A and B are shown apart, each in its own frame.
Chain A
């Protein structure tokens, strides 16, 4: 008897109490899209390609994002400028396959590819979910303000000679025998 009361009446009373209590609480429902929700900066949404603080493309077409991608939805091709900078000749993400896992961002050695808090990517035509470099590349640094890969890496590019990267000494004179 006691068990019957506990299982039915008490349970219903508790539920009713819960509903009653919510009458005095502000509603959670957001009037999207009139009201935009607050998106956390590290939310994994629309993928962008960023630029370094000097305004150059950060992506060096190393292919690590593509190989990290579990659904293989990134394809790109390396090209090289006259002065030795690598960049993607094309960079394509098939968002109809993307699962927003963020592995590409984790794999990226230059902080070029970043996931942003934007999730509004629905399309009527699936073909429009295929984004090229022109669609992905933004004009800012994204979440990482300071990093410039070529200032750290030893590769010589325009404006940064050998020996001018982080922690680098002047190039060696091979004809010198001084210690």
Chain B
């Protein structure tokens, strides 16, 4: 075989190759397996993964390759390890190749345990598909099967090691891709075992992806298993994860009126093949027995829908003015309908004032042509990253996973230089060893990305801001100096300037406006220094906290903060208030909320679960959860995406836009929003193109093999009810219609003949890792306006006694709705105060002991002491979780300080489930 110089994957040159006598045009520089799959050919494989490249471990993708037309013997070669060469001649159908593949799978199956009927993977199992495709039927081997003991891997994942075929995908994902450290390949030869060093919860925030990465049933979804349904029985629709501001695409599945599980839905620009565990396991609240089911009045008496609607209209139309408080976790239509009901001037943001201020800056930066707001795919391409203050793993986990990939760009660069194709995963990693692209983190303590960080600046929030301002100054001397600065700044500045595609990350979750200003300064300085010669905008990723924070911001006037709303109510400037999907006690100081609600004449609250705000409301209206309604959300990039309704709500709950807006149809609400608010002008584009669905034919939510149609409800009545109609969308609650793999523009659950597993996604992609043929990637709403070019001035130094307070956020617990899901609650810790060993000693605090925080205005809170060795002295981070702590009373703004004193430990959860790298252990701390 002639050895030719191999081009890289980025090289999109096309070459012609011949497969089974047919000539195809394929991407040069790729490998044969990837190109065969891109062409839609059926070639079995196990260890290859579109996102993780090739290692050639399983030998399943063997094909015949021929030298030239004369060559009839050919050689057997592994398609995933063979680069595409111009004029290559290969055969998939060759008898020898087929026999080889059948032989390989027969040996892989030697110890497979004959338990498909009791395996959660059954019916969507890549191993089942490949076995069938390769033609292996009966076990001929008459020796004993190798067996393994399973491990307890925590509340999310089940382990059944007997099913393993040692493809190594799990450890490649978990360790190499997601940076987990507690899963490994153990033992040797045919005894290879994949598990933890000892039983315990899998620590990675992305462990749920093992369920989808494992080609068989070694790792299965434990939460789903408790309420199990086969894939073909799940009613599925394309949806958007409501767990954070990233807006990952998900495919929730429903059966018997319950939301059963969530799996990743491929999006080429955003989440790709992976989502985080909050998104996957955090939707149990939809099925919660405590869900609000009927409208209630102030005395908790049930109202009928018409009476409730009338009462809401009365509240909205009564004298004295009515305030509407929107919600960052409600969709655009719900917020818009409320805004329309109370008027734009009375519509207030539903997030905290600190976040409100951050959102103004974030939107300003997003419309600045100097900056580009990168998608996840673009974040992965950064070759120098600066993270300012944001604890990305806990606030936007999928972005953290992308940042982890960005450090791999150094390895890819080295591989290009050494003529190693980028998809040769093991070779690329071997070549790079510990060489990584720079990733610098400014934080108040250890973060979960520290293991790949090149530099860390750990200090108090105010000192971090000064350092970050100084960094901008070091890059461009016109930027205001922060004074002083740590040694690493010079190195970080050089790295960012030298980078081909630098990226600055900050976010609103911590409410730290100074660091967002600093991020804008750094990005602006970079842009200026790199700007000459029409260089592209600098990547500035400013993360929003919740699923629709950006959408809510675009609807709200800058002066209409939550604090302003509460003041208007307390002062009597407004009489009534309508609260949309929001627990105000999580957003503002409790004293302020109490005063406002006490002063308000009438309070109406629309929500799905009871909370402290609904408890005080005079009218409570139940609303549908994300999977029970169609709605659009705007993510951190300003990308509007449509989440379809998956299943019906079986209570009196309605979408909020129906309660408040009186809209008959969703489409009307969405288009009215697009017409009324200039920022949403392009919102209408999220609606699917239905021109190829003639005569009202729809896209089915149910698979062709949806079972039990005539028996599911037969216990209630043997006469089957009419199929529920869906006048709201292009989807039908039915198994009839145009299936996604034909012409439909909507893809919920991927399935293709012979490909029952999620690997069937390749049948829907343009090419491997390309956009979906059916896909609708969402619509970018934010338009670039004129640049300001101004630097933010250095914030004034706030001094005071006590320790600087900042929020500590946890992937499991900090998001309001997911923290009410049983699975997430199993991983939550009690409220804690993260503190440095020095400060703990000074205050006489010990690990796990109770501690009382007291802030300005006499606000106090009690939490557990969590001594972290990497925590910056002078700062404490308070994690609230589901404890009723007046966080915003303590954290009244940046530079808020608290005093600490030992106290009785609060009842409830301890710190057992806390997963951090720097928890202080040993006798000194207990």
Contacts and interface: CB of A to CB of B under 8 A. Distances in A.
Task: Please determine whether chains A and B interact with each other in the same assembly.
Answer: yes
Interface of A: 60, 62-64, 66-67, 69, 71-78, 80, 85-86, 90, 92-94, 96-97, 109-110, 126-127, 129-130, 132, 149, 152-156, 162-163, 165-172, 174-177, 179
A92 B709 contact: no
Nearest to B712: A75
A59 B809 CA distance: 45
Contacts of B256: 77
B230 A67 contact: yes
A172 B714 contact: no
A85 B117 CA distance: 11
Interface in B114-159: 114-118, 122-123, 142-150
B749 to A, nearest CB: 15
Contacts of A62: 116-118, 122
* Most chain B beta carbons < 10 A, residue from A69, A85, A126, A168: A168
A130 B115 contact: no
B717 interface: yes
B738 to A, nearest CB: 21
A75 B714 CA distance: 9
Contact of B707 (A63, A126, A129): A63
Nearest to B142: A167
B117 A60 contact: yes
Given A63-B230, A156-B150, A72 B708 contact: yes
B188 interface: yes
A20 to B, nearest CB: 51
A92 B118 CA distance: 19
Contacts of A132: 715
Nearest to A172: B191
Contacts of A75: 707-708, 711-712, 714
Interface in B222-259: 225-226, 228-230, 232-233, 256
B187 A163 contact: no
Given A66-B708, A153-B114, A130 B145 contact: no
A100 B712 CA distance: 19
B186 interface: yes
Given A62-B122, A63-B707, A94-B714, A179 B189 contact: yes
Contacts of B195: 174
A153 B147 CA distance: 12
B710 A94 contact: yes
17 contacts: A62-B118, A64-B117, A72-B706, A72-B707, A72-B708, A86-B117, A153-B115, A153-B118, A162-B149, A167-B144, A168-B113, A168-B144, A168-B147, A169-B145, A174-B187, A177-B188, A179-B189
B193 A172 contact: yes
Contacts of B149: 162, 171-172
B191 to A, nearest CB: 4
Interface of B: 112-118, 122-123, 142-150, 160, 162-163, 186-189, 191, 193, 195, 225-226, 228-230, 232-233, 256, 705-712, 714-715, 717-719
B203 to A, nearest CB: 20
Contacts of B232: 67
Nearest to A112: B117
A154 B714 contact: no
A155 B715 contact: no
Given A63-B229, A153-B118, 6 more contacts: A67-B232, A72-B710, A76-B708, A86-B118, A97-B711, A129-B718
A86 to B, nearest CB: 5
A127 B115 CA distance: 36
A61 B191 CA distance: 31
B325 to A, nearest CB: 41
B397 to A, nearest CB: 29
A149 B146 contact: no
B707 A172 contact: no
Nearest to A170: B147
B191 A174 contact: yes
A154 B113 contact: yes
Sorted nearest first, the 10 A-B pairs with minimum C-beta distance are: A154-B113, A75-B708, A62-B117, A75-B711, A169-B144, A66-B707, A72-B709, A153-B115, A174-B187, A94-B714
Contact of B233 (A63, A73, A92, A129): A63
A78 to B, nearest CB: 4
Contacts of A73: 708, 710-711, 714
A77 B144 CA distance: 34
Contacts of A80: 225-226
A134 B707 CA distance: 21
B114 A154 contact: yes
Given A67-B232, A80-B225, A94 B113 contact: no
A175 B195 CA distance: 12
Contacts of A152: 114
A66 B709 CA distance: 10
Contacts of B146: 169, 172
Nearest to B707: A66
A132 B714 CA distance: 10
B715 A162 contact: no
Contacts of B113: 153-155, 165, 168
Contacts of A174: 148, 186-187, 191, 193, 195
A81 to B, nearest CB: 11
B718 A172 contact: no
A104 to B, nearest CB: 11
A93 B718 contact: no
A93 B714 CA distance: 9
Nearest to A177: B188
Given A72-B710, A72-B711, A127-B718, A110 B117 contact: yes
A86 B229 CA distance: 12
B718 A130 contact: yes
A164 B336 CA distance: 62
Contacts of B160: 155
Nearest to B255: A77
A112 to B, nearest CB: 10
Contacts of B230: 63, 67
Contacts of B143: 167
Given A60-B118, A62-B118, A162-B149, A127 B717 contact: yes
Contacts of B186: 174-175
B587 to A, nearest CB: 40
Contacts of A175: 186-187
Given A74-B707, A97-B711, A171 B118 contact: no
B620 to A, nearest CB: 32
Nearest to B122: A62
A13 B808 CA distance: 103
Contacts of A71: 710
